[in-house]
Chains A and B, each alone.
Chain A
Amino acid sequence: MSLLRVENVSKHFGSLVAVNNISMVVEPGELRAVIGPNGAGKTTFFNLISGFFPPTSGRIVFNGEDITALKPARRVWRGMARTFQITEVFPELPVRENLRIAVEVAAGNRLNPWLSRDADGEVRARIVELMDMGGLADKADRLVGELAHGDQRATEIMMALALNPRLLLLDEPTAGMGDQETYDITQLIRKLHREEKLAIVLIEHDMRVVFHLADRIMVLAEGEPLAEGTPREIGANEAVQAAYLGKAAA
């Protein structure tokens, strides 16, 4: 069974059609990139998948269940986690607390007035594990708002990962980063994909990152699907080159 089936979704903002009749199927463990010029509707497409707002039309099926009408929190409970184009963290809390909130919610403790010693031990161990994986161990007690952009991004990704998702949605994870930071985040994403066998959908502008990571690529332009295929197919697609890659190269 496919993990995610997006069926003919559209989103209208007044007279603007931000997403027009897009479909996409993501298999378990797949790493899918979504590319396209600014304003193509990529973020809007993510917002539809994650439940930020409902689609104007179309259907979203996750793990065999129609989730079109579900609120974001319920999609998270079913195994969908996301990051945002502009990092969304708890800037005035330390890295450790940012992760703790995510870990506790994921462990089903969100309403608990109390955590047993064992449960607390498990939470702590998980936090350490996540900080190690994200390269954040030496910044555990720093406020996230004071960290470098790349570390804030890594914190956000690790928070999403703390939710034990089956599908991870990353909106431009390397936006605004230097070469070293981009490399680090790329390695992290690759590790999540290879080692954690996580299905990932990735919006990305950096073509090196996309062609390096993606199993398949979907290209959007002006809210419409322009092409879909393997990196090799997309690289050779003339319509894509004309509409997008050509522009990026220029």
Chain B
Amino acid sequence: MAGDDLQKRAATAIVWLLLLGMPFWLPAIGGYTELGARVVVLGLAAMSLNFLLGYTGVLSFGHAAYFGLGAYGAGMTIRYLVPSTSLSIIVGTLAGTIAAALIGPMIIRLRGVYFAMVTIAFGQTFYFIAFRWNTVTGGDDGLIGWTRQPLDFGFAKIDILHDSVAFYYLVLVLFAVAVGCMAWLLRSPFGRTLLAIRENERRARFLGIPVDQHIWISWVISCCFVSLAGALYALLNNFVDPRALYWSQSGDFVIMAVLGGMRSFWGPLLGAAIFVVLQDYLSSQTQNWMSFVGLFFVLVVLFFPRGVLGIIRRRAAA
């Protein structure tokens, strides 16, 4: 019991040290800082999805919708409203969260594959809007003609546009806040009701937990942080296009979560890292990089249902 706890703390400390030092050690092994930022942003998206998938037991196949809303929200704020990075992040996150809160009541009564399918359907709706509404979203070409703006604190300015290390740390700070919130919630009485729903929905209901209401809250929290990830993703690329909303993007998040291990808090981050690195490396070698990722995914799911982190844990325990 106590040893378990110690092990968990040590693992958490190592994760944070690796993340904090990324701009220093990643270039040394042949990576680059933007790649690190990409891992952290997509890791946040996958961990947010996993709040719902791994800790509430609800599979969404439409999280790209909120990721994309966050991305477009951020991009359009800078492009059309005000040249402010912080405001763009707030607007993007709010856009996705509000959409999720409104769509939630229509879907939370569905379970299993029905829930997954309806989330896809909503996601595709947003995709087609972004795709068709050329004049505002830039359609298929994406939203261009804007960049992330320097952070202005009044007393100091930080040029996150040209200084990719500074931008990385902005991303990491927001990642830390989001992930900290999720970890906190999962250890709370509310978090335990989510676990209860995942473990046995019938028992949860007959303990006096209004299951639909709790799933709605979990869904909104999950979508809120995936929208934040989307906003950061747009800022990272200085660009958004409809693929951020496409169902295959939702699928990528699920792959990352399952690949890394959806029963562990950090698993999806590891999954995202593997995914991003494979993508970066393989896409320069072959057109069909997705087939390799897919193959890897299938192997992990078949032989290690608890994901890559599950394998590592078993090694550590043995």
Which A residues are within 8 Å of any B CB, using their own CB? 50, 71-74, 76-77, 81-82, 84, 88-93, 97, 100-102, 104-106, 109-115, 141, 159, 163
Contacts and interface: CB of A to CB of B under 8 A. Distances in A.
27 contacts: A71-B210, A72-B206, A73-B205, A73-B206, A73-B208, A81-B206, A82-B206, A84-B206, A88-B200, A89-B203, A91-B200, A92-B199, A93-B199, A97-B192, A102-B207, A104-B192, A105-B193, A110-B189, A110-B193, A110-B208, A110-B214, A111-B217, A112-B189, A113-B188, A113-B189, A113-B190, A141-B1
Contacts of B1: 141
Contacts of A104: 189, 192-193
B117 interface: no
A136 B215 CA distance: 31
A106 B189 CA distance: 11
B89 interface: no
A73 B193 CA distance: 13
Contacts of B184: 113
Interface in B164-213: 184-185, 188-190, 192-193, 195-196, 199-200, 202-211
Contacts of A81: 206
B207 A100 contact: no
A175 B207 CA distance: 22
Nearest to A111: B190
- Centre residue among B190, B203, B204, B207 by max chain A CB count within 10 A: B207
B208 A91 contact: no
Contacts of B190: 110-113
Contact of B209 (A82, A91, A100, A105): A105
Interface string B214-253: 1001000000000000000000000000000000000000
Contacts of B202: 84, 88
B188 A73 contact: no
Interface of B: 1, 184-185, 188-190, 192-193, 195-196, 199-200, 202-211, 214, 217
A82 B208 CA distance: 11
A101 B196 contact: yes
| Top 5 A-B pairs, shortest CB-CB distance | A76-B208, A90-B199, A109-B189, A88-B203, A104-B189
A113 B185 contact: yes
A93 B195 contact: yes
- Centre residue among A106, A114, A159, A163 by max chain B CB count within 10 A: A114
B200 A90 contact: yes
Contact of B189 (A74, A84, A115, A159): A115
Contacts of B209: 73, 105, 110
Nearest to A109: B189
Contact of A88 (B192, B206, B210, B211): B206
A247 to B, nearest CB: 31
A114 B181 CA distance: 12
Contact of A114 (B188, B200, B204): B188
Contacts of A110: 189-190, 193, 208-209, 214
A110 B206 CA distance: 13
A24 B214 CA distance: 34
B192 A100 contact: yes
Contacts of A113: 184-185, 188-190
B199 A91 contact: yes
Contacts of A102: 207
A136 to B, nearest CB: 17
Contacts of A84: 202, 206
B210 A163 contact: no
Contacts of B189: 104-105, 109-113, 115
A90 B193 contact: no
Given A71-B210, A84-B206, A109-B189, 10 more contacts: A73-B209, A77-B208, A82-B206, A88-B200, A89-B203, A90-B200, A91-B200, A104-B189, A105-B193, A115-B188
A82 B260 CA distance: 38
Contacts of B210: 71, 73-74
A91 B184 CA distance: 24
Contacts of B217: 111
Contact of A76 (B185, B188, B199, B207): B207
A74 B205 CA distance: 10
A50 B206 contact: yes
B200 A89 contact: yes
A102 B209 CA distance: 9
A92 B200 CA distance: 10
